[in-house]
């Protein structure tokens, strides 16, 4: 079974530029998550999708971040405009259903550096 | 008070000894608890999950949960150098309505 795929793996941009990340979850997984992990911190949930609907986006900085999950499969996370403090690893995870006992499987992440 | 707290370490343990990692959480409605291992530059990987009070063993790993004390721990027996990593404690409130809330992680070093 293929794991969670993410691209690009690395991205370097200047502040005020825009950037987009792509995630392809494990086939058949209904729930998709985007986390932000700043160096030295644990991952922080940004947004959670159940199929193609948003379940929780309370920690997403909506003035600059946006995300969508088309047709309940792939997802994109966009930052526009980027700030220095957005430098982090952006992790996508998926789980089979929407249950507290489900394992969340993480992709390799996209490391963003904002200069 | 932070939602999930862990000692950031580093925690240094001799090879073959027992490594003990601890985590406390603030939200009493939390129902599901997870330990993830994260190697430097890699993504988190699930080690153990625990949902009810008591101990849960899987190979060299034992997770312990005490909901009354809001405390979760992970024991690693016969520690190996390959166990050197950051261990993240994660909590889910339950019902599937939430993502995971992570602690900062404990950096574990197994000394050969």
Q: Place A102 in a pLDDT band, splitting at 50, 70 and 90.
A: confident
Phi-psi region of B63 (alpha: psi -120 to 50; beta: other; left: phi over 0): beta
Chain B residue numbers with beta carbons less than 8 Å from the beta carbon of A98 are 96-97
DSSP chain A: ----EEE-SEEEE-TT--EEEEEE--TT--EEEEEEE-TTS--EEEEEEETTEEEE-TTS-TTTEEEEEGGGS-EEEEESS--GGG-EEEEEEEESSS-TTPPPEE---EEEEE-
| Of A35, A42, A98, Cβ closest to residue B96 | A98
Chain B residue numbers with beta carbons less than 8 Å from the beta carbon of A25 are none
Mean pLDDT value across residues B12-20: 97
Mean pLDDT value across residues A25-40: 95
Q: Which tokens in the block code for residue A102?
A: 């489900």
The enclosing H or E element of B23 equals strand B19-25
Pairing of strands B4-5, B19-25: antiparallel
pLDDT at residue B73, as a whole number: 97
What is the rounded CA–CA span in Å between residue B45 and residue A39? 17
Chain B residue numbers with beta carbons less than 8 Å from the beta carbon of A91 are 43-44
Q: Closest residue of B to A102, CA-based?
A: B96
Q: For tokens 């063993």, what's the residue?
A: B57
Residue A106 clears pLDDT 80, i.e. is over it: yes
Closest-CA distance of chain B to residue A31, Å: 10
Per-residue pLDDT of A39-76, as tens digits, reads 999 999 999 999 889 999 999 999 999 999 988 899 99
Mean pLDDT value across residues B76-98: 88
What is the rounded CA–CA span in Å between residue B101 and residue B24? 12
DSSP B46-66: EEEEE-SSEEEEETTEEEEEE
Q: Which tokens in the block code for residue A4?
A: 């969670």
Mean pLDDT value across residues B78-93: 95
Among A42, A30, A6, A22, CA closest to A104: A30
Residue A29 clears pLDDT 60, i.e. is over it: yes
Mention every residue, 6+ apart, whose C-beta is less than 8 A from residue A72: A30, A49, A51, A52
| Of A42, A97, A98, Cβ closest to residue B105 | A42
pLDDT at residue A103, as a whole number: 86
Q: Which tokens in the block code for residue B58?
A: 């899987």
DSSP for residue B83:
G
Q: Place B96 in a pLDDT band, splitting at 50, 70 and 90.
A: low
Per-residue pLDDT of B39-69, as tens digits, reads 999 999 999 999 999 999 999 999 999 999 9
Chain B residue numbers with beta carbons less than 8 Å from the beta carbon of A104 are 46, 99-100
CB contact under 8 A, A45 and B100: yes
Q: Which tokens in the block code for residue A96?
A: 């089979």
């Amino acid at each position: 079974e293929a794991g969670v795929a993410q691209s690009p793996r690395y991205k370097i941009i200047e502040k005020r530029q825009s950037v987009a990340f792509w995630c392809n979850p494990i086939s058949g997984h209904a729930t998709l998550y985007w986390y932000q992990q700043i160096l030295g911190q644990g991952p922080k949930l940004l947004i959670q999708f159940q199929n193609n609907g948003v379940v929780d986006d309370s920690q997403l900085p909506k003035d600059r971040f946006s995300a969508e999950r088309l047709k309940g499969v792939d997802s994109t996370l966009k930052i526009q405009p980027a700030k220095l403090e957005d430098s982090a690893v952006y992790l996508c995870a998926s789980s089979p259903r929407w249950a507290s006992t489900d394992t969340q499987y993480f992709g390799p992440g996209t490391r963003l550096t904002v200069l | 008070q932070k939602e999930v707290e862990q000692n950031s370490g580093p925690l240094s343990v001799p090879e073959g000894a027992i490594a003990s990692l601890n985590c406390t959480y603030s939200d009493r409605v939390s129902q599901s608890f997870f330990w993830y291992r994260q190697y430097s530059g890699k993504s988190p990987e699930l080690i153990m999950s625990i949902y009810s009070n008591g101990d849960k063993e899987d190979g060299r790993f034992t997770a312990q949960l005490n909901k009354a004390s809001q405390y979760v721990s992970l024991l690693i027996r016969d520690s190996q150098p390959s166990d050197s990593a950051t261990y993240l404690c994660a909590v889910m409130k339950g019902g599937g309505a939430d993502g995971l809330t992570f602690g900062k992680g404990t950096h574990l070093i197994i000394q050969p």
